[in-house]
Chain A
Amino acid sequence: MPLLTLNDAGFSRKDIDLSHISFSVDKGEHVTITGPSGSGKSTLLKLVAGLIPLSSGEIIFQEKNIHTYDPINYRKEVSYCYQNPVLFGETVRDNLAFPYQIRKESFNPSHAARLLEAVGLNSGFLDTLVKNLSGGEKQRIGLLRHLLFTPKILLLDEITSALDNQSRTLVRKLVTDINLNQGVAILEVTHNDQEIANASRLITISHGRMAGSNEPIIG
């Protein structure tokens, strides 16, 4: 059985109309979503994350409708990383400690330091003030908040859009490692040509509809 299945999923608001979205994602799979700006890709990820309500269709996670799960526990398993993250508190530490706080666990600075180094930031970075961070640094910290605890699915929304080539390579390496070695499924939105070219499975969204998929779609 697939880990995640969307059956005719849709979301409709005055400025967004996403409909008839059907596909599935297996455990450990890496699915890339692309399409023009404003086509509904980010909305699709938010729907899967349970952050906005479905207007039609259903989303099945581990053989159960996502509405049957406690939304808080579900979002710990299906983790959505925003493209331009807003960082909390004053320091990087405040942000990386947050996932521990919400689980009522003690912050593990060595784990955080390992992840920081994996994306090209040293462990001393923990005490850096958020206000002094560049866009690329904020984007990497925003991503790391979702990686301190391993989810079952990572929903990544253009997570390398503010990164230079070197940082992008490091982030890609980390995401690939989590995908291949920890079996985390990835559902990723990107506009990057190279990432699209390297995609093992590509879904194209256009004007709120599925315009193409290089794998059989559901329904």
Chain B
Amino acid sequence: MSQLSVNAASLIFSFSLVLVALAIAYKERLGLEKDIIYSVIRAVIQLIIVGFLLKYIFNANQMILTLSCVLIIYFNAAWNAAGRMKNLPGALLLSFLAIFSSTTLTLCLLLTTGSLRFIPSQVIPITGMIASNSMIAIGLSYRHLSASFRDQRQQILEKLALGATIRQASHLIIRASIKTGMSPTIDSAKTVGIVSLPGMMSGLIFAGVDPVRAIGYQIMVTFMLLSATSIASMIACYFAYNKFFTKQKQLRE
């Protein structure tokens, strides 16, 4: 099986693909030229730094370094997820709690069952994979929660007027928001291998692993992402919904 080989020349040639995007942006007057150039430069710099950093961490193979990387991933994911709910007090802490719980629990399960070894080359990429999916799930849940509290305001008020607790009044919104957070992972689980060959599986195949062996890892990834996104969405929604109410159990404006 041939292995992927990327050298400086092939990278320079592949830059022509960016020119295609730039040409479209220019021709259609999308005003995205600066954004494309900025994002490409940023991606290249970020990846170069990460590449060298990971090489150092993998070679060092020290627990403290691995755990520091895991914490940095948690924090960045929480920061991004919290950005979806800028007007929610304590969104960063909440997002961190949801990402920490979902990712750590899933990681621990994989480590104790022996599916994963506690070495940086395994723990760091898998943490990134779980945390990024949790981040997307939390972001979607937050967005749904926020939109529902705005759109269903009258219904919530009427439930409160009947003497419902804030949890009883928000129950359907919480449920729908958890569902929204989980749905991309469920949808992608349904189409995995049919529509797309996901990152883990593609990476292994690129590296020359037998596709039949690669699916084993992909199945594990599918399981862990289902677990992580459900935990993350649930924690985010159950800890966030009461922020829409005051201490006097009144719906905030």
A residues lining the B interface (CB < 8 Å): 49-53, 67, 71-73, 75-76, 79-82, 85-86, 88, 98-99, 101-103, 142, 145-146
With known contacts A51-B157, A86-B155, A99–B250 Cβ distance under 8 A: no
Q: Which chain A residue has the least Cβ–Cβ distance from B155?
A: A86
* B-chain residues with CB within 8 Å of residue A50 when the two chains form the complex: 248, 250
B162 and A71: CB pair below 8 A?
no
A72 and B155: CB pair below 8 A?
no
B134-153 interface code vs A (CB 8 A; 1 in, 0 out): 00000000000000000000
Query: What distance in Å separates the Cβ of A59 from its nearest Cβ neighbour in chain B?
Result: 12
- Stretch of B8-16, B17-25, B163-171, B178-186 on the interface side: B163-171
With known contacts A52-B250, A71-B248, A101-B168, A86–B154 Cβ distance under 8 A: yes
A80 and B250: CB pair below 8 A?
no
Q: How far, in whole Å, are A72 and B250 apart by their CA atoms in the complex?
A: 10
With known contacts A86-B154, A86-B158, A88-B155, A102–B248 Cβ distance under 8 A: no
With known contacts A67-B248, A71-B248, A88–B161 Cβ distance under 8 A: no
* B-chain residues with CB within 8 Å of residue A79 when the two chains form the complex: 161-163
Q: Which chain B residue has the least Cβ–Cβ distance from A50?
A: B248
A53 and B250: CB pair below 8 A?
yes
Q: List 26 A-B contacts (CB under 8 A).
A: A50-B250, A51-B157, A51-B160, A53-B246, A53-B248, A67-B248, A71-B249, A72-B163, A72-B164, A73-B163, A75-B160, A75-B161, A76-B162, A76-B163, A79-B162, A80-B161, A82-B157, A82-B158, A82-B161, A88-B155, A88-B158, A98-B159, A99-B162, A102-B159, A102-B168, A142-B158
Q: How far, in whole Å, are A69 and B209 apart by their CA atoms in the complex?
A: 66
Residue in A52, A71, A146 with the greatest tally of chain B CB atoms within 10 Å:
A71
Q: How far, in whole Å, are A95 and B158 apart by their CA atoms in the complex?
A: 11
Report which of A67, A85, A103 forms a contact with B158, defined as CB distance below 8 A. Answer: A85
* B-chain residues with CB within 8 Å of residue A103 when the two chains form the complex: 163
Query: What distance in Å separates the Cβ of B175 from its nearest Cβ neighbour in chain A?
Result: 13
A88 and B159: CB pair below 8 A?
yes
A146 and B162: CB pair below 8 A?
yes
Q: How far, in whole Å, are A103 and B251 apart by their CA atoms in the complex?
A: 21
B162 and A102: CB pair below 8 A?
yes
Across the A-B interface, give the 3 residue pairs with the lowest CB-CB distance, nearest first: A76-B163, A71-B249, A80-B161
* B-chain residues with CB within 8 Å of residue A101 when the two chains form the complex: 168
Given A76-B162, A98-B162, A99-B163, output 13 extra A-B contacts at Cβ < 8 Å.
A49-B161, A50-B250, A51-B161, A71-B248, A76-B163, A79-B161, A79-B163, A82-B154, A82-B161, A101-B168, A102-B162, A102-B168, A146-B161
Q: Which chain B residue has the least Cβ–Cβ distance from A75?
A: B163
Query: What distance in Å separates the Cβ of A104 from its nearest Cβ neighbour in chain B?
Result: 10
* B-chain residues with CB within 8 Å of residue A52 when the two chains form the complex: 250
Q: How far, in whole Å, are A81 and B161 apart by their CA atoms in the complex?
A: 7
Query: What distance in Å separates the Cβ of A28 from its nearest Cβ neighbour in chain B?
Result: 21
Q: How far, in whole Å, are A145 and B251 apart by their CA atoms in the complex?
A: 20
* A-chain residues with CB within 8 Å of residue B161 when the two chains form the complex: 49, 51, 75, 79-82, 146
* A-chain residues with CB within 8 Å of residue B157 when the two chains form the complex: 51, 82
